[in-house]
């Protein structure tokens, strides 16, 4: 009789992160597929309503509404919600108009931008090794978007704007009190995106939602909620240094979905740039883990 397999906390954290990245990327694919039938703000609003409703139920069940926020945390949550709106707009706009793998590849620069922004705005120490990795990583990003090239469009800049918004969002989250409920923070962002998309949808002509589009919307809502739940579980179960690198699995999922669903495949330079961004991001995460161990040993 085979012995049951016992997973370590890190192994479970890695599986949760893989599940999170897969869920988020499937959500992206569903939203991109909707671009054939629904206007951007109609699709974004309908998904936001479903996500907000689910988060309200989750937050209430976990007692998140019982937490009393400080004035400082309220300001940080407001800032985070505001940039979440920008991130959603720029990201979905780019996703509607660019190959999913290209958009996902540029987003892999986030560990680099967060590290650099932490050094510039929060005074966090960043050595020459990580600064060099950040510079090389940005070269990889330039290989993906190739300013002035044939495939370069304004939506390439939209992805960079989304990266900037998510960077500010993550920095705001870093400054919050550790005991602020994650569900409360996520719900605030979801409400902000819902209100923004509702306002913007007043200026568009709504179209009937076909059964196909309705199924895609439902799937997008389910997967984005699942991605959030899995990502929170990943960070709480395993060590960040072990779990975080599995974040890059989203690029592999995007490549597969792009090819199978949208018949898209990146060119050689895009694949090379993606490899550079991932490699430098992994190095940055590795260095941060090593430095954290040194600090704990003092």
Would you say 280 and 111 are in contact if contact means Cβ atoms under 8 Å apart? no
**What is residue 207's DSSP assignment?**
-
Rounded to an integer, what distance in angstroms lies between the CA atom of residue 170 and that of residue 284? 16
Q: What is the pLDDT of residue 90?
A: 97
Nearest to 249, CA basis, from 114, 108, 52: 108
Does the pTM exceed 0.95?
Answer: no
Compute the distance between CA of residue 69 and CA of residue 46 in angstroms, rounded to an integer: 29
* 95 or 111, greater pLDDT: 95
Please say whether the dihedral angle defined by the alpha carbons of residues 280, 282, 286 and 292, taken in this order, is positive or negative: positive
Give the lowest-confidence range in 74-88, 181-195, 231-245.
231-245
Q: What digits encode the pLDDT tens for the residues 254-292?
A: 999 999 999 999 999 999 999 999 999 888 888 777 776
At 198, is the secondary structure helix, strand, or coil? Answer: helix
pLDDT of 218 strictly over 60: yes
Coil, strand or helix at 210: coil
Q: 11-15, 175-179, 180-184, 237-241: which has the minimum mean pLDDT?
A: 237-241
Label residue 198 by pLDDT band (50, 70, 90). Answer: very high
């Amino acid at each position: 009789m085979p012995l049951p397999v016992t997973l370590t906390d890190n192994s479970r954290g890695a599986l949760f992160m893989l599940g999170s990245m897969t869920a988020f990327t499937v959500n992206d694919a569903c939203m991109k597929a909707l671009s054939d039938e629904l206007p951007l703000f109609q699709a974004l609003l309908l998904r936001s309503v479903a996500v907000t409703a689910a988060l309200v139920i989750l937050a209430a069940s976990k007692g998140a509404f019982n937490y009393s926020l400080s004035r400082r945390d309220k300001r940080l949550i407001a800032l985070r919600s505001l940039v979440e709106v920008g991130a959603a707009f720029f990201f979905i706009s780019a996703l509607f108009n660019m190959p999913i793998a290209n958009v996902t590849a540029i987003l892999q620069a986030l560990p680099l931008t967060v590290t650099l922004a932490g050094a510039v705005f929060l005074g966090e120490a960043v050595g020459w090794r990580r600064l060099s990795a950040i510079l090389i990583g940005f070269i990889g990003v330039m290989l993906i978007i190739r300013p002035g090239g044939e495939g370069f469009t304004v939506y390439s800049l939209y992805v960079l704007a989304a990266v900037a918004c998510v960077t500010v969002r993550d920095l705001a989250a870093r400054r919050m009190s550790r005991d602020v409920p994650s569900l409360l923070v996520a719900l605030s962002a979801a409400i902000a995106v819902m209100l923004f998309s509702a306002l913007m949808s007043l200026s568009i002509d709504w179209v009937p939602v076909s059964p196909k589009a309705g199924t895609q919307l439902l799937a997008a809502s389910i997967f984005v909620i699942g991605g959030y739940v899995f990502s929170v579980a990943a960070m709480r179960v395993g060590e960040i240094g072990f779990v975080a690198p599995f974040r890059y699995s989203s690029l592999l999922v995007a490549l597969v979905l792009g090819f199978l669903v949208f018949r898209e495949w990146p060119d050689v330079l895009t694949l090379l740039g993606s490899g550079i961004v991932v490699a430098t991001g992994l190095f940055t995460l590795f260095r941060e883990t090593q430095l954290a161990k040194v600090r704990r040993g003092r």
